[in-house]
A and B are shown apart, each in its own frame.
Chain A
Amino acid sequence: MPLYKNGSFVQDAWTTIREGEAISPAGHVIAPLAWWQAERQAFDQSHVPIGVLIEPGASIDDFIADLPRLAVIALVIPKFQDGRPYSMARLLRERHGYKGEVRATGEVLIDQIQPMLRCGFDAFEITDPITQAALEAGRIPGVAHFYQPGVNEAPQPGARPWLRQAGR
């Protein structure tokens, strides 16, 4: 599946598995959270990269202890109108200082790319051909002026008000 990251489409080194499928000892597997939690003992001594797939109903508290172990957190966007993953991404970045990949998977459409970036997503699994074409053409619709701080958008020092900034 095409993966958009850091401004271009890249080779996806990760495989997403379903519950019941084996987590490869070589890692680079994104496993459903419950499956990872059931299988994790096998990886206690291993440092292979592991990712988890998080459904929007989950709470970060359910896997907060695992954060240092996780290289990818893939947040499921069941429908593009589902706003829960946006809050989860911000919490992961801002509250928990998570530095790994925060990936969007599911109904990821072009008009949601900008707000997702601003909430701390940095990788996007793209299935929609129109979205893929727009991203390949470098067209991310959105606004260029923001009234609130975004993730990784430090307010410009000395700039006017406390929240406003021009986009990157």
Chain B
Amino acid sequence: MYRYDEFDAAFVADRLNQFSDQVQRRLSGELTEEQFRIHRLMNGVYLQLHAYMLRVAIPYGALSPRQLRKLAHIARRYDKGFGHFTTRQNIQFNWPALKDIPEILGELASVEMHAIQTSGNCIRNVTADHFAGAAADEIEDPRPYAEILRQWSSIHPEFTYLPRKFKLALSGAPHDRAAIQVHDIGYQLVKNEAGETGFAVYVGGGLGRTPMVGHKIRDFLPTKDLLAYTQAIVRVYNLEGRRDNKYKARIKILVHEKGFEAMRDAVEAEFAADKSDLLALPQNEIARISAYFAPPALTERPADSQALKARRARDPAFAGFVDVNVAKHRQDGYGLVTISLKPIGGIPGDATAEQMELVAELAEKFGHDEIRVSHEQNLVLPHVALDDLPAVYDALRAQGLATANAGLISDIISCPGMDYCSLATARSIPVAQRISERFADGPRAREIGAMKIKISGCINACGHHHVGHIGILGLERKGVETYQLTLGGSGDESCTLGDITGPGFSYEDVVDAVETVVDAYMGLRASPDEDFLSAYRRVGMAPFKKALYERDSGSDI
């Protein structure tokens, strides 16, 4: 895990002083609210419906137990005892007082954390695969590159006032768990024919009101050019991106309006014109940063764990948890444990201070001091010996953290919706809660299999509904909430935007509509191995449309 050196610590201290000064100048009237707004956003401070909200960066989702304990402490001392993990590897505190925020930032700095660029029209918190450094299918660990990008983009003088926010995501494996194709820039680590490591680069993806899948702008970018190429893309965007309309200001619109080929030519020309090698990454610098991410020393263990087998045999709930929440580790005898923050009927992504402390303790005892936050709003213990799974499971269960639904229908991504957000046009959390209660995490959910439901409470699409296998978008029509369904979306390497089923459903009916889709899928799937997305891609919208809208009147009511 990356550790700050003196330089990093001094930088964060600088930033804290700068922000504290801005708060003072706002309070004394030297800064207008509009001027201050830009500065506070650049430091993760939003004004929400009820209060200020502080969004803290968890770069590429990596947390140490010490950091997670600090987040628990902040939740307890400055908030209402919980925090909310977001879809971009951040944590949000929804109830801090503005006057406390400099102090909270000081607490964060003491554990090498900050809120820099978690909002604002700048390069945001850099995200990466939450299974990085542990997944069986990984080509190379993306975290060192994510860290390099994080440093380079921090208070970048040229790129602090971009047309709009700018999001980077990295994946180190062919299976994309970081949704890189719906980011402003996505980087996929690949090997070329000579066996060298580089990046396939995607540009212009994004969700929001105009969803777009990113275009592959480079098949292979040598790792040394990571920063120079990123600079070229961001510079073209900074100069040419629209500033007349905030809804048309993201790079995806520039790519769309300029045309992808023209955009690629502009970026390549800018990249080629930069003759300086100031930004070229020396191999020894990559190695220096990579050393921080050296894999933990895992003792060799047999691939089959007797302890696991024995417990499985007598405890179906445990077996269900292992089947669903434990992913394959690259080393035999270990697993990646997803700790679901989607308790049945709960609020997706919320964790109490006590839960955070438990996870920190488990990471220390059984997880080589590593915790990850996934963009799917769950936590991950990336290196757990299979022999330790019974103990980990029992401890999680005692704190209500053993929901066995990772990747299943009740593992729902949801934006905060009308319950917290001033932009929302509909409730989303309560819809997630009702779906979760309907399907739960038992045998029925397992039978349905892999299913990603994503819910947004307005067209800004913070809940990523466009890439949900089933997406739900809450809108307001004449003062009444109505929910549009999309089917067949996917945020992985087969990135696709979902198709709208047709007219929307009321708040009361939307859960039944989801169930209708699920039942239709269960009836038409070729085999239990054909998951919803595959089945949808095979049969298309027609059967689902029929099930949703052409029911015989009376028979279903």
Contacts and interface: CB of A to CB of B under 8 A. Distances in A.
Interface of A: 59, 80-84, 86-88, 90, 94-95, 109, 111, 114-116, 118-119, 130, 141-150, 155, 160-164
B279 interface: yes
Interface string B104-132: 00000000000000000100000000000
B158 A163 contact: no
A166 B411 CA distance: 46
Nearest to B289: A161
Given A149-B278, A161-B285, A163-B152, A82 B161 contact: yes
Interface of B: 7, 10-11, 14-15, 18, 21-22, 30, 35, 38-39, 121, 151-163, 227, 235, 238-239, 243, 273-274, 276, 278-282, 285, 288
A164 B151 CA distance: 9
Nearest to A59: B239
Given A95-B274, A163-B151, A86 B157 contact: yes
Which of B22, B157, B162, B163 has the most chain A CB atoms inside 10 A of its CB?
Answer: B157
22 contacts: A59-B239, A81-B38, A82-B243, A84-B238, A86-B238, A111-B22, A115-B160, A141-B22, A143-B155, A146-B157, A147-B11, A147-B153, A149-B278, A161-B285, A161-B288, A162-B278, A162-B281, A163-B151, A163-B152, A163-B279, A164-B7, A164-B151
Contacts of B285: 161-162
B549 to A, nearest CB: 46
A94 B14 contact: no
Given A88-B239, A109-B35, A145-B11, A83 B18 contact: no
Contacts of A130: 30
Contact of B158 (A87, A95, A114): A87
B159 A141 contact: no
A142 B39 CA distance: 12
B14 A115 contact: no
Contact of A83 (B22, B35, B162, B281): B162
A143 B151 contact: no
Contacts of B279: 149, 162-163
A163 B278 CA distance: 8
Contacts of A87: 158, 235, 238-239
B157 A148 contact: yes
A152 to B, nearest CB: 12
Contact of B238 (A83, A142, A145): A83
B276 A143 contact: no
A147 B152 contact: yes
